[in-house]
Amino acid sequence: EPEVTQTPSHQVTQMGQEVILRCVPISNHLYFYWYRQILGQKVEFLVSFYNNEISEKSEIFDDQFSVERPDGSNFTLKIRSTKLEDSAMYFCASSEVLRTDTQYFGPGTRLTVL
């Protein structure tokens, strides 16, 4: 069964450093998403992406964040200058063009900012 994959599974970084989280969406999906879950809190939407453009973003997704589809298979989330409060699980998701309501999630990357 096709699945969304994410690397790395765990990333530890120093405050102020840049991190890039990587995702490989399901191959025939064209909508991509990033969500995050701070420990003990709910899963929160960050951004959706289609046709090399951001479709929608939340207020969390400020100038420190960017997304990119650098090639035909990867989808990345970059945090330019990490803060302590960026520590969270980051989930990538993807969906079909005609079924954007049903999103399939990857296993997540645990980001720890020290």
Q: What are the tokens at 100?
A: 């954007």
Q: Select from 13-21, 67-75, 76-84, 101-109 the region that touches other proteins (CB under 8 A).
A: 101-109
36-95 residues near other proteins, rule: CB under 8 A: 41-45, 48, 50, 55-56, 58, 91, 93, 95
Does residue 91 contact residue 105 with C-beta atoms inside 8 Å?
A: yes
From residue 108, how far is each of 4, 51, 86, 96, 98 by CA, in Å? 10, 23, 14, 20, 24
Q: φ, ψ for residue 77 (rounded to 5)?
A: -120, 125
The residue among 20 and 89 lying less far from other proteins, judged by its C-beta, is 89
Footprint on this chain of other proteins (rule: CB under 8 A): 4, 6, 31, 33, 35, 41-45, 48, 50, 55-56, 58, 91, 93, 95, 100-108
